[in-house]
Structure 1
């Protein structure tokens, strides 16, 4: 590659950033031409290419990239430090190429039309609506727990392997597709991440590889969370980049499964967000509601907390801060807090559907 061509690629990062920001001002166009047009084709092709491979190709690529970076540092960095402009050009070439690939293969979904607008749902809810919805979640979760185990104090364990859970996650999406065709998943590409230990230390249940479109799941997390986390990562996979939207769609997919364990995983996942929202606004109401939750469900929550505490390190806040900055840079103004903004979608979707099963 000639020096002149490298310089052009390096400098392209500036117009790229400007172009992305301009495109982001037109969410309807992004929704129509990218998220509902180009992207589904890209995603489907990627799932066909990588979905059948039993291990994470994306994680292998990341590993090779790290090794190449180490090789570059050892062999070329000492010489390039004497030529700072040349070093800057080399770095900008890599950044420019990755920036372009990221947005073309997945990243433009950050600028699509917000889901609440597509579903004609309000962004606001009253405290009474939140309280009533949380009561509904508690009743529903208790009911499913009772069906799985008549002992209200029992800890629920899912009797399926991870691969069985990945395959079973399709059913919820297939059931949803009759009402929302854009949520159809025909070809799966969901893997257990090779970096599950690292994800645990960083505090993440999974992630989507934007370059291979593989949905990656943390293989060390607590058993009952696998169904809803799998569904969450697949929501990212089909183009819903916002964390609150992926939480919402992942919940819908899990609870639209005919399997009670999937439903249990989905309801417990969002009930925790709802209870947290109640607690922020009314600690007294929270205490009242908390007493209505089955002891077995509380044990499942404690099991999750214990797991994350085991992997908690002083570096975790740095990882969360970095991801927070990444989200804010990609059109999620609330950053990592956007995970919890799923409550507004849940409350208003439930209200719009007259409290029927989602």
Structure 2
């Protein structure tokens, strides 16, 4: 790379930063020309290129990148004092290129129109509406749990392999996109991360690789969580970066899946999140509603709690804080707390479309 090229790349970073922040004030523009314009072509291309490969190429690329970084540090440690300008320039250029690639290939979706607006939903809801919705969700969760186990005290065990679950996610997206075409999904690229152990240490169930558009699932999490988690990561692939929106889409596609275990995953997910929100608003109502949930469902919740408790470590809060700051830097003002906003989408979507009988 010539010195002139390096200077041009270096100068582009502040321009990129300012342009992205300006575009953040025009979500309709981003929605039209990026999220529904350029991005679908880019994402499909990468899913076609990498989707057929049975393992995560993104994880392989990250491994190579880490090796190259270690190699660079080893080769240049002794040169810091004499060649610090060159080293700082190399680091700055690398950050500039990664920043550009991230936003071009996926990251600009953080600045798109909020989903509640594109779905024409209310943003607020009353506690009475929340309680009513939660009662109906719990009734469906109880019914499906009993239908599967024939015993309301037995936790649900999903009898599928990981690859079977991944394949079955297609049905939910096909069914839901028939109602809401904006969630159409083609060209599968859903994989178990080779770094599942590291994801567990970090406290994450999955992630999308923004540079290869592969959806990665933590292969160590309880299997009953796979249907909604896999569906959640696929939502990121079609351009919904916000965690609350990916949660909503993952839940809705699992709910509309013909498979009963996917439906259970969706109702289990909704019950958990709705109860948390009821607790925030009315603790007496929370205790009343919690007591109506089948013991078998509580055992599934305990399974998840015990899993994360068994892998508790001092590094997890640091990773959570880092991800929280990452979200806030990318137009998610509430950071990790934005996950809870899924309840608003669920309650208001049900008010409009009556998804829970």
TM-score, with length taken from structure 2: 0.98
Contact 1:248 1:346 in 2 (8 A): yes
Contact 1:81 1:87 in 2 (8 A): no
What is the correspondence of 1:19-168 to structure 2 with a 5 Å cutoff?
Answer: 19-168=19-168
Could you report, residue by residue, the CA deviation over 1:64-107 in whole angstroms, capped at 9, with x for unpaired residues? Answer: 00000000000123213433322221111000000000000000
1:251 and 2:251 matched: yes
Q: For 1:88 and 1:13, how far apart are their aligned partners in 2? A: 14
SS in 2 for 1:207: strand
Q: What is the CA-CA distance between 1:122 and the residue it aligns to?
A: 1.0
Q: For 1:296 and 1:253, how far apart are their aligned partners in 2? A: 23
Contact 2:235 2:250 in 1 (8 A): yes
- CA 1:88 to 1:135, structure 2 compared with 1: closer, same or farther past 3 Å? same
Q: What is the CA-CA distance between 1:182 and the residue it aligns to?
A: 2.1
Q: For 1:356 and 1:191, how far apart are their aligned partners in 2? A: 31
C-alpha RMSD over aligned residues: 1.0
Contact 2:152 2:294 in 1 (8 A): yes
The count of aligned residue pairs is 357
Q: What is the CA-CA distance between 1:352 and the residue it aligns to?
A: 0.9
Unpaired segments of 5 or more residues in structure 1? none
Contact 1:11 1:92 in 2 (8 A): no
- CA 1:11 to 1:78, structure 2 compared with 1: closer, same or farther past 3 Å? farther
Q: What is the CA-CA distance between 1:354 and the residue it aligns to?
A: 3.2
Q: For 1:283 and 1:356, how far apart are their aligned partners in 2? A: 24
Unpaired segments of 5 or more residues in structure 2? none
SS in 2 for 1:208: strand
SS in 1 for 2:308: helix
SS in 1 for 2:207: strand
- CA 1:173 to 1:81, structure 2 compared with 1: closer, same or farther past 3 Å? farther
SS in 2 for 1:178: helix
Which residue is 2:206 aligned to?
206
What is the correspondence of 1:204-243 to structure 2 with a 5 Å cutoff?
Answer: 204-243=204-243
Q: For 2:289 and 2:256, how far apart are their aligned partners in 1? A: 25
Contact 2:136 2:356 in 1 (8 A): no
Contact 2:158 2:223 in 1 (8 A): yes
SS in 2 for 1:12: helix
Q: For 2:39 and 2:154, how far apart are their aligned partners in 1? A: 44
What is the correspondence of 1:178-193 to structure 2 with a 5 Å cutoff?
Answer: 178-193=178-193
